[in-house]
Chains A and B, each alone.
Chain A
Amino acid sequence: MTVGRYVSDLETGDVLEPVAYTMTPFVVREYCHGTGEYDESFHGPNANDTEPQRVPPTLVHIDKIRLLNRNCPDGPGPDARIHYQYHAIHHRPVPIGERLIAAGTVVNRYEKRGREYLDLEFELRLEATGELLTTYRDTALLGYSRNGAST
């Protein structure tokens, strides 16, 4: 199912097709190398193997990318999308090695000061039980140069 060819096609009320995946140690390590997160607890279990590798909660932002890639396969649209706001609520730590399911909806698409914004809301749950792990709200500008003055 494709909700929109491009992200710029999305409208208020659109429901994105969920994406299921397994959070792997590799993905967490790669993400942490990419962000410069140096705490060893994000790179593997502790020395005695009594504490599992941790998952940075910011990885929920990748669920947005997964869902947009699935639902809008041709990309952002005529202009690059610019991230404006991140808001994550952590309900419990995200586990490594379990199947997760990410779902998302378009909460609002609106214009403000000549620029167009897109508000998306996401939920990340354990696939097996439906237990809520993270809720995430994301605001992006749909374009920059065409919709307002540059800063």
Chain B
Amino acid sequence: MTSRPPIDVGDALSEPTRIMTRERMRWYCDALETAAAATGEFVIAGPTIHSDDEFARANGLPGIIADGMISTNWISGMLYRAFGEQYLASGELQTKFIRPVYEDERIETHGRVVSRELTDQGARYVLDVWCQTSNEEKCTVGQARVLMPVDTASG
């Protein structure tokens, strides 16, 4: 993560397309419970709307849907690969889940730099970020901001 291409207004970011498999949905549920328990032991999550069709249908959904934090994490990873440590140190990410993601949908992860403003602290980048299906239906939308030191900021 030491060498990164310059980033300027209008530049597009993306991640490889991923399939939202049933397994990915369940792995996130288990990871969430394992992290929350913080016992050092792996935890298998109980039934949720993300892992159990019957449970999801009882809650008014047609079947399991992905946790919005999966697509948020795909966006966050994309920002880390673009901005590195500065994203962890001085980044901001806002996402909204505007459409459920269903099993086996192909999800693309995108970002676009919409502004770059020089401040006393460095160059502040603002990006539109989103995930969409292969039919270009957006499911997760948001904005990100990252402050880069001027000596490493491009443009």
Contact = CB atoms under 8 A, between A and B. Distances in A.
A130 interface: no
A interface majority secondary structure: mixed
B87 to A, nearest CB: 7
B60 A150 contact: yes
B49 A90 contact: no
A58 B99 contact: no
Contacts of B18: 36
A34 B27 contact: yes
Chain B contact residues: helix, strand, loop or mixed: helix
A94 to B, nearest CB: 8
Contact of A85 (B31, B74, B76, B94): B94
B87 A35 contact: no
Contact of A65 (B36, B76, B87, B90): B36
B88 A93 contact: yes
Contact of A59 (B35, B55, B70): B35
Interface of B: 1, 18, 24, 27-36, 38, 40, 42, 48-49, 55, 58-62, 67-70, 72-74, 76-77, 80-81, 85, 87-97, 99-100, 142
